[in-house]
Chain A
């Protein structure tokens, strides 16, 4: 599809299907231009509320384990559970239908309604019915559909797809809703407040509830033992839909089935808290329909007998169940925590970071599972920052799913002699050499960097040339607007060799092996050296390993085979140290996260079992663990940078619980520390370098830059960050030097 000049003229429907890359790029431009403020406000509110609400659950982690286990077992026993559920629904007096496809589900529902001569149905929010495009089918059958959830009502009026799986119209600000209603309803009514808009919609829909022949709802969970369903909502429209009309149809995916109604007890605590951050939403209905109480009857009429249909859809889910990667996604309970904790999603929402139905980090797997692989192209917006991982109530490793989708999409690309040669030269695994040049370039960062640092002054001179940047942009997609940090004249390994190795004469020095991770080694050796010195300062004996790639860069490009090869070599190198009980210290947090958790996916099981016993720590964790008099060793008052600092921890560092010690150390040394509260800086490795994502990356970064500016209202602060990418992003956004915590500490030590 051709790119439209003005992003505001792009309609969400036009860019819903992103199998064409142009649609993804247009969608990013459109959402940044039109929807971003509302999406940011709403998702960040959900995000803050979720952190607060889950912190109040004393057994949050145990509940997540339990939820994961219930879903895992349910998916394993699905055929049996479906048989049991069918019997339960029949025993209750309801009807059960298992639809193979979306069209099959729609046809069944149309048949039921036609049999009842229904002219009007009311609908509660159901993303599954968006997947089957039920409204189109009903309207084609001459049945009016009234969407009664106010968000779905807005989407129906605007003819747009959902932009969020829980709050499908959160890309609309109040002002845009007012404009939309005034235009579509041609009304002169004042619609300038949330109350006025709500009253307007309520009055329209009240009449529909009373007149409707049938109500259609989704189901958040279904208990096989009793045919019970759980329905979570706040507006009361689902209660109306299930109580008033005589016919109730509930449509859901087969993955919503759990063994027992008793299992609802686990999910009722997790779902609302993980979603909107409420302890409970206004209404949670627990029903085993049909209801015994009679439905609403119009004046002068006898109430009709109740009828209930449970329509479960497969539509690719059984295929997902056979797929080792997509099977994980079946655990999803559609809470939206992975959307709200994602910096990219917070900035563009589901009309860019989403497909025709599903959105966000988990959305790619669902679009691929219920549609085709290329429908998941928007999952490119998952940077692998991992902020969603700890927030997922059923513990799905969402970045890993997206890295696998990316690999499959790479494999769909045609191979070429050029790509193959480039891959061979730079270090791609044989099967990954079909990947686009841009992906192979960023995946093999270390090879390029190794060569460039050998002739750093030449490399730096060359990359400053405008035509070279132009060439890099057109060949490997490295955006020319992105400031490149200069290659250092010496690598960390080289600097380390010329460093005297005496320690601060501790009684019993303990040994630490520092991994010369490739990002620090070739990109910022001074941070590595400062870390070595800081550790020595508090009494550790430090050795430096050889610089070896860890698989992070390759994995983020979907080059999983290359990542596996690198992980295997690195693990073999580190294992002797790990098994001798030595601590392995890693400066770059994204590499620390590889060793701590991602290697579980990349190493064979036996190696991982041995490797996982290792102690992998971030430098400041070690400094903190040494327990010395930090105020005496690193007196903040002596720092030429001043004692006032702004600290941004790295996304993966926070996910693997390795960030708090940095703040403790800096405060103990006497620094006045203000911390960021953004999920991610927006750089995320190569993401912010890529030509097509540069603007999005900077838009995400703006939240962080704004926090720096706010923290500096009463005077400047020294910028401190732990991750390589965060350094580069802060450097680009704030235009000044950024220090590693170890550099800040060492600045206090007299030399």
Chain B
């Protein structure tokens, strides 16, 4: 994230931590055009993009993005395991660790955020909390973290089991986070 657009200390810490966890982060205007642009820039030449529609953010925000022919909101099993990118929303972010929290209760969110080599997570700036422990408090984000099935995603999948540190194991090789202003 360019320093100029990090506006609050929490956001700044979030961006710093996420970069430390080897994710990439960008902060954009909250509009369908800006989001569509940002996602398509991130996926680059990908021939197929898995997409799990949001449950927190208004789906109109994704209206520009879904017009792209490569987007699969209802992928076949073959497409599910052979796509280059997966796009989901995150219902929260964590500043101290640079994590995004993905709710996997819905239809395909779990798989879309897991099976493609490039994971893209869209998170609203106001849902970024200071620490992981905040997700276990009834008074933070209406206690959503206490009710849902979700995953703290911190950077891409990684292993040191084969000797040196390798990024990209069973899960995504890259994580790109888009923060909505």
Contacts and interface: CB of A to CB of B under 8 A. Distances in A.
Nearest to B145: A286
A283 B171 contact: yes
A321 interface: no
A732 interface: no
Interface string A247-289: 0000000000000011111101100000000111111111111
A149 B104 contact: no
Nearest to A288: B149
A726 interface: no
B150 A237 contact: no
B88 to A, nearest CB: 12
Contacts of B137: 262, 265
Contacts, number: 169
Contacts of A297: 77
Given A167-B160, A282-B158, A293 B107 contact: yes
B24 interface: no
Interface string B93-134: 010110100001111111100100000000000000001111
A292 B148 CA distance: 10
B166 A293 contact: no
B96 A279 contact: yes
A187 to B, nearest CB: 15
Interface in B129-151: 131-138, 145-146, 148-151
A294 B132 CA distance: 27
Contacts of A197: 162-163
Contacts of B45: none
A446 to B, nearest CB: 46
A292 B133 contact: no
B17 interface: yes
B4 interface: no
Contacts of A151: 161
Interface residues of B, number: 54
A239 B162 contact: no
Contacts of A226: 146
B151 A265 contact: no
Contacts of A296: 77, 80, 111
A293 B105 contact: yes
A210 B81 contact: yes
A238 B150 CA distance: 13
Contact of A269 (B21, B106, B133, B148): B133
A244 interface: yes
B157 interface: yes
B170 interface: yes
A265 B107 contact: no
A298 B105 CA distance: 20
B162 A268 contact: no
A236 B169 contact: yes
B109 A299 contact: no
B78 interface: yes
Contacts of A237: 169-170
Contacts of A172: 163
Given A239-B151, A280-B152, A285-B151, A262 B136 contact: yes
B76 interface: yes
B53 interface: no
A198 B166 contact: yes
Given A264-B136, A280-B132, A284-B151, A236 B171 contact: yes
Given A235-B171, A243-B114, A292-B105, A282 B149 contact: no
Given A261-B146, A269-B133, A243 B104 contact: yes
Contacts of A720: none
Contacts of B97: 279-280
A368 interface: no
B149 A299 contact: no
28 contacts: A194-B162, A194-B163, A197-B162, A198-B159, A234-B157, A234-B159, A236-B171, A261-B136, A262-B136, A263-B136, A265-B134, A265-B135, A265-B137, A268-B133, A269-B133, A279-B21, A282-B21, A282-B155, A282-B157, A283-B154, A284-B152, A285-B149, A285-B151, A286-B150, A291-B110, A294-B107, A296-B111, A299-B76
